[in-house]
Amino acid sequence: MTVADAKTILSRSDAETEAAGAALARHLRPGARVLLYGELGAGKTAFVRGLASGLDIDPDEVSSPTFTLVQEYQGRVPLIHVDLYRLASGEVDDLGLDAQAAQGILAIEWAERMPRPDPGAIQVHLEHAGEDHRRIVIAGDVDDDRSV
């Protein structure tokens, strides 16, 4: 899938949001960057739990790293989970995310706080769509050989 053919998913539960993350994870290779956008409660952390599951990491280990900023989980490929909510864009470079992501998958919540665009990254936009529903739009360079 490329940006031109972004995929939209309607999720009716956290479990479906996690399933969407797991499906995406099966396409990812070390060095991939997944940027997550959405307001509070939109399902960003649930989506990352799904990424973890798809990378053979226990999804129950995943929590929002709002206060620790960066958490790393070991699976068939390491998952580096970052939350930029409490940072100003100028502070993001101090995290050294480029070096951390080289050997794993980088998932960044609140990516709108990044100081500059990351054109090679996969973008995941999550938004409320009524009741417990979420609209998930995934865009970026993802392997085409499996459906997300």
Residues 1-53: pLDDT tens digits? 444 468 999 999 999 999 999 999 999 999 999 999 999 889 999 999 999 99
Distance CA 78, CA 84 (A): 19
pTM: 0.86
Give CA–CA dist 107/34, Å, rounded: 5
Chain centre distance of CA 55: 13
Domain annotation for the chain: domains and CATH numbers: 3-139 (3.40.50.300)
Summarised one tens digit per residue, pLDDT across range 121-143 is 999 999 999 888 999 999 987 65
Using CB atoms within 10 A of its CB, is residue 64 exposed (0-12), middle (13-18) or buried (19+)? middle
